[in-house]
């Protein structure tokens, strides 16, 4: 009997794991469907970008999120859409595209940057971590036809909010 119960436990564990993965896939596919519906019905760029941030909020918890667009003439990234939990806050300034910020790094490297806790991440200066409420973040380059057009940046005031799996 112990052999059978061990096998039953393994089968049950695998079934639960599979079910969780399938639920996550359904959530992702539903978000993708909603995303395409909202984007195609948006009246203008601002409405489309705001719709993207609403969908992101359904997928991950955040305190603030931004979509930056690249201003090639001024070599900066400019916030084109923002959402905040609770009250609206001041928008971040333009980010120079010199590699000195998370946003410009994601653009130049063409890679997502994920930090579960910026206070423990050596990529962030001590002054940057002291001055911000942000503890966990993701910055993901927005790439169209092999060109980076902007960045989606998602921040949480709680540590360990994001991992590579969220990207």
Query: Does residue 42 register a pLDDT over 60?
Result: yes
| CA 99 – CA 66 distance, rounded (Å) | 18
CA triplet 74, 77, 82: central angle to 5 degrees? 140
Q: What percent of the chain has pLDDT over 90?
A: 4
Structure tokens at 82: 């923002």
| CA 37 – CA 44 distance, rounded (Å) | 14
The pLDDT tens digits of the residues spanning 16-25 come to: 989 988 988 8
The pLDDT tens digits of the residues spanning 107-139 come to: 888 888 888 777 776 666 554 555 567 778 888
The pLDDT tens digits of the residues spanning 54-75 come to: 878 877 878 888 999 888 899 8
131: Cβ contacts below 8 Å, ≥ 6 apart: none
Q: In this predicted structure, what is the pLDDT of residue 130? A: 52
């Amino acid at each position: 009997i112990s052999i059978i119960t061990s096998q039953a436990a393994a089968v049950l564990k695998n079934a639960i794991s599979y079910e969780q993965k399938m639920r996550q896939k359904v959530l992702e596919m539903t978000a993708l469907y909603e995303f395409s519906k909202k984007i195609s019905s948006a009246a203008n760029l601002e409405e489309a970008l705001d719709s993207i941030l609403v969908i992101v909020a359904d997928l991950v918890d955040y305190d603030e999120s931004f979509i930056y667009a690249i201003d090639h003439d001024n070599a900066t990234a400019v916030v084109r859409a923002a959402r905040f939990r609770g009250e609206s806050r001041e928008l971040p300034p333009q980010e120079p595209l010199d590699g000195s910020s998370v946003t410009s790094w994601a653009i130049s490297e063409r890679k997502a940057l994920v930090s579960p806790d910026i206070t423990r991440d050596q990529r962030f200066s001590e002054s940057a971590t002291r001055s911000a409420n942000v503890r966990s973040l993701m910055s993901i380059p927005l790439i169209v036809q092999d060109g980076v057009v902007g960045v989606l940046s998602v921040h949480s005031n709680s540590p360990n909010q994001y991992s590579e799996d969220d990207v």
